[in-house]
């Protein structure tokens, strides 16, 4: 979703830094972009465009202050005029905004009535005009911004740039915003990964807080307007972690990072695993909540907890949990899974769970994210920044945590750790044999449908695998419980339909094999993923038995399949159409 970047400092290339900041936020998803830069000759340079930044550059200019924005359209179409920044009539207030001003129509009507001219259809533009209006009665910027905040409804993250005063006001509610500091230079961004090339010294602004920033320094105010010290933290990753390095795409890089990420969890996160296991044991009931890929990790979790820990753990997708949580008590535990920690469908529902006094645990990849801060206890995936839109390493990291927690509850953590190491070796083996998967992708790239089947935890893997293939290759792929097929879906199988069958050597093995025969008899091209070869498979991908951790290498096969299908069809796997990395609108 939208990305924000701002700079105030002593360097003369603010424009370059802002453009490069916006490029590093591209992965969040956007359809237009813009900048507002005050040049050293005091002129304000504005540029706004639809489409991608790509290789865009700005004209040479000396400047040390400005803001930029990538927009993912919500209110108003994708047009140059609707791109941010938005500017007040007197040109003294410039705004970039992430989120939604829910009551903008009412505010806009009143502002038009008193003479303001709007140049866009966005909700965001009201912010600039409303501040201009307040400043007519009240010269103090701080008071004007506070008044604005009390008038607007909805989640937001905003930089208000007063070019005359060379001052930014920054505030947020819900949507993320990070400050970076380095010897008289300040950076503001939606995501720390845009700041890390300059400094690791960052502060995640809290909901309700407000920051004023100018050449004299920075002040932070709490939600009651009181001055507050800024507790900067030091990020643990470096600039390489947010670049593609030797890989052609972030998606491939992140697929390759999985062995390290997963092994690290099994080696150095065991205290966190134990603490969460304790909290689950003490809870009255536990609910796993997440969206998209995170929801499929939750679903896998229900199988893993049932089988390994002999515990019934509930599961809901984030956007539905609000309608299911009436029975929560103060002894209930909600574990929210979210790579970004900013997914609004997840945040909104867990907020309601918190209002019912349920305990909240976050399993997220982003230190300082909204979910991280909202939770009573937070587990960090420590997977490093995930930049490709399609989630890969965050998914397998989530599964690793859930798998180990289930083992800890069963007092078999050691066995769990050993199986994770086996899974890691299997992923490494698959990466060595990736050309087989690429070959298969080329073979099936023109088919109308791909089906993915599994039972038990492999059913959850099938759903995640289908999502991965769909989002990056735009091919129709569906995951099904292998037993459910004959209740209807088998009608779709025709000569040559590719069917990927997850058939680990567990309690599902024989029944899943029957499904292979059923689809094969109707002409399917069966891709068997198993530790045991069988004649029913037209092609076989060997994954050795890692007990229930086999789900991890199995899903890696689908990640690679999705990646190579995207390449075979000529798509950029890192930036699939219509998708955003961080989904901050409902």
Q: Residue 156 or 340: which CB sits closer to ligand F6R?
A: 340
Token pair listed for 524: 């399917």
- Residue 113 buriedness (CB in 10 A; 0-12 / 13-18 / 19+): exposed
Clarify whether 147 is annotated catalytic. Answer: no
Interaction with ligand F6R in 445-504: which residues (CB under 6 A)?
A: 467, 471
Tell whether residue 338 is a contact of ligand F6R (CB under 6 A): yes
What DSSP string describes 252-295?
A: HHHHHTHHHHHHHHHHH-HHHHHHHHHHHHHSSEEEEEE-THHH
Written in H, E and C, the secondary structure of 503-555 is ECCCCCHHHHHHHHHHHHCCCCEEEEEECCCCCCCCEEEECCCECECCHHHHH
Q: Which residues contact 213 (CB under 8 A, 6 or more apart)?
A: 8, 167, 168, 169, 170, 179, 186, 188, 219
How many residues bind ligand F6R (CB under 6 A)? The answer is 14
Tell whether residue 176 is a contact of ligand F6R (CB under 6 A): no
Tell whether residue 339 is a contact of ligand F6R (CB under 6 A): yes
- Total residue length of the chain: 586
Q: Single out the segment in contact with ligand F6R by CB under 6 A; choices: 136-144, 238-246, 338-346, 411-419.
A: 338-346
Query: Helix, strand, or coil here: 332?
Result: strand
Tell whether residue 397 is a contact of ligand F6R (CB under 6 A): no
Q: Residue 201 or 354: which CB sits closer to ligand F6R?
A: 354
Clarify whether 2 is annotated catalytic. Answer: yes
Element (H, E) at 127: helix 125-137
Binding mask 219-258 for ligand F6R (x = CB under 6 A): ----------------------------------------
Tell whether residue 343 is a contact of ligand F6R (CB under 6 A): yes
Task: Let me know the angle formed at the C-alpha of 196 by 80 and 177, rounded to the nearest 5 degrees.
Answer: 55
* Residue from 126, 288, 390, 440 binding ligand F6R (CB under 6 A): 390
Task: Spot the catalytic one: 253, 387, 581, 586.
Answer: 581
* Residue from 346, 349, 512, 530 binding ligand F6R (CB under 6 A): 346
Tell whether residue 391 is a contact of ligand F6R (CB under 6 A): yes
Q: Single out the segment in contact with ligand F6R by CB under 6 A; choices: 15-23, 214-222, 285-293, 512-520.
A: 285-293
* Residue from 340, 378, 473, 530 binding ligand F6R (CB under 6 A): 340
Least CB distance from residue 535 to ligand F6R, whole Å? 34
Interaction with ligand F6R in 514-543: which residues (CB under 6 A)?
A: none
Token pair listed for 429: 């083996």
Least CB distance from residue 566 to ligand F6R, whole Å? 12
Distance in angstroms (rounded) separating the CA atoms of residues 15 and 319 = 39
* Residue from 100, 160, 262, 294 binding ligand F6R (CB under 6 A): 294
Q: Distance between terminal CA atoms of the chain?
A: 11
Name the residue with tokens 């865009």: 56
Tell whether residue 316 is a contact of ligand F6R (CB under 6 A): no
Q: Residue 21 or 292: which CB sits closer to ligand F6R?
A: 292
* Residue from 8, 196, 252, 291 binding ligand F6R (CB under 6 A): 291
Least CB distance from residue 136 to ligand F6R, whole Å? 42
Q: Residue 146 or 559: which CB sits closer to ligand F6R?
A: 559
- Residue 271 buriedness (CB in 10 A; 0-12 / 13-18 / 19+): exposed
* Residue from 167, 276, 293, 349 binding ligand F6R (CB under 6 A): 293
- Residue 341 buriedness (CB in 10 A; 0-12 / 13-18 / 19+): buried
Q: Which residues bind ligand F6R (CB under 6 A)?
A: 291-294, 338-340, 343, 346, 390-391, 467, 471, 583
Indicate which residues carry an active-site annotation: 2, 581
């Amino acid at each position: 979703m939208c990305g924000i970047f701002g700079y105030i400092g002593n360097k003369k290339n603010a424009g370059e830094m802002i453009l490069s900041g916006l490029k590093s936020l591209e992965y969040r998803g956007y359809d237009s972009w813009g900048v507002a830069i005050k040049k050293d000759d005091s002129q304000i340079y504005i540029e706004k465009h639809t489409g991608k930044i790509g290789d865009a550059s700005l004209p040479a200019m000396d400047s040390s202050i400005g803001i930029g924005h990538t927009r993912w359209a919500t209110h108003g179409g994708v047009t140059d005029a609707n791109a941010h920044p938005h500017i007040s009539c007197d040109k003294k207030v410039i705004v970039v905004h992430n989120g939604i001003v829910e009551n903008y129509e009412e505010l806009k009507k009143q502002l038009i009535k008193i003479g303001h001219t709007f140049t866009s259809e966005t909700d965001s533009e009201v912010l600039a005009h409303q501040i201009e209006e307040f400043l007519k009665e009240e010269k103090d910027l701080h008071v004007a911004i506070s008044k604005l905040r009390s008038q607007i409804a909805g989640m937001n993250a905003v930089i208000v740039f007063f070019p005359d005063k060379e001052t930014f006001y920054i505030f947020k509610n819900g949507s993320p915003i990070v400050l970076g500091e380095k010897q008289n230079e300040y950076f503001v961004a939606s995501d720390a990964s845009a700041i890390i090339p300059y400094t690791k010294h960052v502060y995640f602004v809290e909901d309700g807080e407000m920051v004023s920033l100018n050449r004299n320094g920075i002040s932070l105010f709490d939600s009651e307007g009181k001055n507050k010290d800024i507790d900067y933290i030091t990020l643990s990753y470096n600039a390489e972690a947010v670049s593609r390095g030797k890989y052609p795409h972030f998606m491939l890089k992140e697929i390759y990072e999985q062995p390290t990420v997963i092994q690290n969890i099994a080696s150095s996160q065991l205290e966190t695993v134990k603490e969460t296991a304790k909290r689950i044991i003490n809870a009255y009931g536990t609910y796993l909540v997440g969206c998209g890929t995170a929801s499929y990790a939750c679903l896998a979790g229900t199988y893993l907890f049932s089988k390994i820990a002999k515990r019934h753990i509930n599961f809901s997708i984030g956007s539905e949990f609000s309608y299911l949580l009436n029975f929560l008590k103060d002894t209930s535990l909600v574990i929210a899974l979210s790579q970004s920690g900013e997914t609004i469908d997840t945040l909104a529902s867990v907020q309601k769970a918190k209002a019912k006094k349920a305990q909240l645990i976050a399993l997220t990849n982003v230190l300082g994210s909204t979910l991280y801060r909202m939770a009573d206890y937070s587990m960090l995936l420590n997977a490093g920044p995930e930049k490709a839109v399609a989630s890969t390493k965050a998914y397998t990291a989530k599964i690793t945590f859930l798998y180990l927690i289930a083992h800890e509850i069963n007092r078999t953590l050691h066995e769990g750790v050993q199986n994770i190491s086996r899974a890691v070796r299997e992923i490494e083996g698959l990466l060595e044999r990736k050309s087989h998967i690429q070959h298969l992708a080329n073979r099936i790239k023109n088919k109308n449908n791909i089906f993915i089947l599994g039972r038990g935890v492999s059913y959850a893997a099938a759903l995640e695998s289908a999502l991965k293939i769909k989002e990056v290759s735009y091919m129709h792929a569906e995951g099904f419980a292998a037993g459910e097929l004959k209740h209807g879906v088998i009608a779709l199988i025709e000569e040559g339909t590719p069917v990927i069958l997850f058939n680990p050597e567990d309690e599902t093995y024989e029944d899943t094999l029957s499904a292979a025969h059923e689809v094969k008899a109707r002409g399917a091209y069966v891709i068997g993923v198993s530790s045991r070869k069988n004649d029913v498979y037209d092609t076989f991908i060997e994954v050795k038995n890692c007990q229930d951790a086999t789900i991890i290498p199995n899903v890696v096969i689908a990640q690679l399949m999705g990646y190579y299908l995207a390449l075979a069809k000529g798509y950029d796997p890192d930036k699939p159409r219509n998708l955003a990395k961080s989904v901050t609108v409902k």
